[in-house]
Structure formats: C-alpha cells, structure tokens
Amino acid sequence: VRVSSPVSPPRDPVVVLASDAFKGSLAAPAVCASMARGLRRVWPKVEVRSCPMADGGEGTLEAVLMGVGLRGSRHARIVSGAGGNPIEVAYGILDSPDGNVAIVEVAQVVGIADRVAMALPAASRSTRGVGELIRALLDADVRRFLVALGGSSTNDGGAGMLTALGARLLDSEGETVAPAPSALGAIERVDVASLDPRLETCEVILLSDVDNPLCGRRGATATFGPQKGVASQDLAAFDEALARFAGHVESALQRHVATSPGAGAAGGLGFALQVLGGSSRSGAEFVADLVGLDASLEGADWLITGEGRSDAQTLAGKAPLVAASRARAAGVPATLVSGALDSAALSELGRHFAGCFAIPAAPMTMAASIAEADELLADRVEQLARLWAAAHE
C-alpha cells in the first residue's frame, strides 16, 4: 500500500479579478490591470482571470466590450446632448449569430459629466440624443439593443427619446410641446402614429441597478431629482408632469409600465423604453453573465472585486455583491478592495466578503487617493497577496 503525502507542492493561486470601475478614477479594465500588477509582484506566474464588471451605469460599455473581446467593436457618433449641444458618443456593436446587438450607454449621451448640459437647469434637459442614436442604429439594421441606464442627468421620462423616434407631444391647442420637464405638464395627447415602425420588431434589454417606479415617493424625481439639480420646491411639479405625460403615452401605446420596477431609472427613460417593449435586468448580473464570470470561477482560488466607494448601497446588489454571490456559489472566497469603505456599513459588508479593504495607505485627501489610485490599488493587492500566501501555507 502506497501512502501518498498529504502535502501538495505549493502552487500559485488562480485569481479572478471582477471589479467595477473606481468612478472618477479608473475604468473597470484599468482596475483589474492594477490589481493584476500587485498580484504579480508576489506571484510572478499567477494565473489572473480579468472579468471587469459594471452595473448598468457609466463604464458599462467599456466592461461589456472588454468582456466580449473580439466579438465586440467600438463606434462613435455625434448626437444631441442633454442640453441640445452636439456631443460625440461612443457605443458598441456586438456580433451575434442572431444579428448585431448595439450597446448604448445612456451616460455617454446624457451623462452627468457633460458640463454644457449640467450648466442648464434640469427642467430643460432632454433625452432626445438617445432617440437619435437609436434611430441611426435602426437605419444600420440593428434590431437588438442593450441599453445601460445609469448616470443620466435627465428627468424627462424619456420624452426626448420618444419624440426623436417619431412620437408627437401635443397641447390642448394641438400644438407640439417640447420634450423637456418644463413643458410636459401641458401635454393633452401623445400622437404615436409616426413612431418608427421598426421599433415593433426590436428586442430591447435595459440594464440598471435601480428598481424604482416612474412616479411617487420612490419615483425617479423624488429619489434622483435632487442630485440632478431639481430644487426641492419643484419636485412635486416635476413628478406630476411626468405622471401626466406617462398617462398619455400609456393610453396611446396601450401598455402600462409606469409602476413597474426600473421605470424610474435614468429619470424615467426606463419607463419610455419599457413602454416600447424593453425589459429591465440587473445590470451587474447581466454583465457577470456576459463576461463569463461563472466560467472564470471554475477552479479558481480567490476572487478580488472592488468599486470606488463601498457603503450600504453596495449591499443592494451592486457589482461587488453580485461578484461575491457568484463566487460563493462556486466555493471561491471573495475579497473587496475599494477606493473607500463606509465604516458604518463595514460590519454588514464583512458578512459578504473574505475581508473588506480600502486603498489609502495613510491618512490622505480624497483628491490624492483618486490621483494615486492606480498605484495605491496595486500596493494594496500586493500586500493582501502576501498575507494570503502566508496564511495559505
């Protein structure tokens, strides 16, 4: 009888890197690259599997394109920004056996980083450019759309997009009403006779990390209006105008979605896309599937995830939590390394991760931490890998 040694020769671990972007600092692929650099300082031949994550917000296009590799391509087009200003936006095209899929990131068109639009009042910002982009893609024979809804500056219920696609908003005199929050309250009828007929044959998937309805206490205006610059005394009027607009759109299209989860995403753009037949999905879960996270976890020893700031919202299903949940199902420990941790949420976060860490190596300002994030992150992951190696022996 041969008794084999119970001690295997030590080998470098297989590590899955599945981080969201550090918003304002590093895109998700760059985060994974920094993490990989830290790991290689400890294990020069470590097997790293990079699965950049996103949750439907800013950075989703980049994560999806990275995830699909050669099947995807990046394109650009000039459309109207939220303030009517021309803006060059990036979008993706994903080759698929069933036809091309367009990846539209709403934050590229009407994002909060657009200074021209942000200088205008929220009441005059519109999603018209999103409709222009979709129309151009329809012209290019695209019939499948993946729309990432996070990071918008608009609160127009998708009125701008609908008019760009052919809908007409009419007042009591039958005159056309502008598709901006300031005018929506005057709508008496929505004419969908000229709505682009090609939309009926489209498949639209909406990626979002929020499940808010269009109106009411948990609606788009009450929840996200203030951070888009809607004054507190105007919140009720915005909400009423959205409700009025939505009622007319629902009557015209004979579809009722204003109260469905996600209708309140992107200032109600979620509503307009759902009323056209789109279905909402969790952005993080969808991206995890698209980048093949489950397959990457097979035979892996450790997953590292992260995001710019981790707090109670992380627990509501942001990318790091989805990554940890997939890792748990695969029996792989998941460690969180973020730009910052909210100490008040740490105890709860700790239940989901094999350790939660932040990148600062000393007291420092937020600005310094953001400016040095690339190296701080590599350093932090290096030190965690040193501990991992020691504990694993």
Residue 392 sits in the site that holds a second copy (CB under 8 A): yes
Tokens for 88? 């060059």
387 touches a second copy by CB under 8 A: yes
Among 302, 314, 320, 321, binds a second copy (CB under 8 A): 302
DSSP character at residue 228 = G
Q: Which pairing describes strands 189-191 and 302-305: parallel, antiparallel, or unpaired?
A: unpaired
Contact pattern for a second copy over residues 355 through 384, marking x by CB under 8 A: xxxx-xxxxxxx-xx--x--xx--x--xxx
The residue from 66, 157, 353, 377 that contacts a second copy (CB under 8 A) is 353
State yes or no: residue 386 binds a second copy (CB under 8 A). Answer: yes
Residue of the chain from 6, 9, 97, 197 that contacts a second copy (CB under 8 A) = 6
Which one of 170, 178, 205, 354 is in contact with a second copy (CB under 8 A)?
354
Contact residue for a second copy among 309, 315, 325, 374 (CB under 8 A): 309
CB of 299 to a second copy, least distance (A): 16
| Helix/strand/coil for 200 | helix
Euclidean distance between CA atoms 217 and 248, whole angstroms: 21
Q: How far is the CB of 3 from a second copy (least distance, A)?
A: 6
Q: Of the two residues 206 and 358, which places its CB atom closer to a second copy in the complex? A: 358
Task: Give me the 259-288 binding string for a second copy, x by CB under 8 A, dash otherwise.
Answer: ------------------------------
Smallest gap, in angstroms, from Cβ of residue 303 to a second copy?
10
Q: Which amino acid is at 311?
A: D
Cα distance between residue 16 and residue 233, in whole Å? 48
Distance CA 369, CA 339 (A): 8
Token pair, residue 72, equals 């995807």
Question: Residue 290 CB: number of other CB atoms within 10 A?
Answer: 21
> How far apart are alpha carbons 96 and 102 in whole angstroms?
10
Question: What minimum distance in Å lies between the beta carbon of 333 and a second copy?
Answer: 3
Nearer of residues 110 and 358 to a second copy, judged by Cβ: 358
The set of long-range contacts for 65-68, using a CB threshold of 8 Å and a minimum separation of 24, is: 65/92, 65/103, 66/28, 66/29, 66/291, 67/287, 67/290, 67/291, 67/292, 68/94, 68/290, 68/291
**Which CB sits closer to a second copy, 170 or 354?**
354
Scanning 3-11, 58-66, 99-107, 227-235 for contacts with a second copy by CB under 8 A, the matching segment is 3-11
Closest C-alpha among 316, 313, 293, 292 to residue 304: 293
# of chain residues touching a second copy (CB under 8 A)? 45
Task: Name the minimum Å distance from CB 334 to a second copy.
Answer: 8
Positions in 319-348 near a second copy (CB under 8 A): 333, 335, 339-343, 346
Crossing angle between the packed helical segments 60-68 and 283-290, to the nearest 10 degrees? 20
Chain CA centroid to CA 229, Å: 21
What mask, x for binding a second copy by CB under 8 A, covers residues 35 to 64?
A: ------------------------------
Which residues, other chains included, contact 255 with Cβ-Cβ below 8 Å and sequence gap of 6+?
A: 275, 277
**In contact, 261 and 274? CB cutoff 8 Å:** no
In the complex, the smallest distance separating the C-beta of residue 358 from a second copy, rounded to whole angstroms, is 5
For a second copy, the closer CB: 97 or 363: 363
State the residues that interact with a second copy by CB under 8 A.
1, 3, 6-7, 302, 309, 333, 335, 339-343, 346, 350, 353-358, 360-366, 368-369, 372, 375-376, 379, 382-384, 386-393
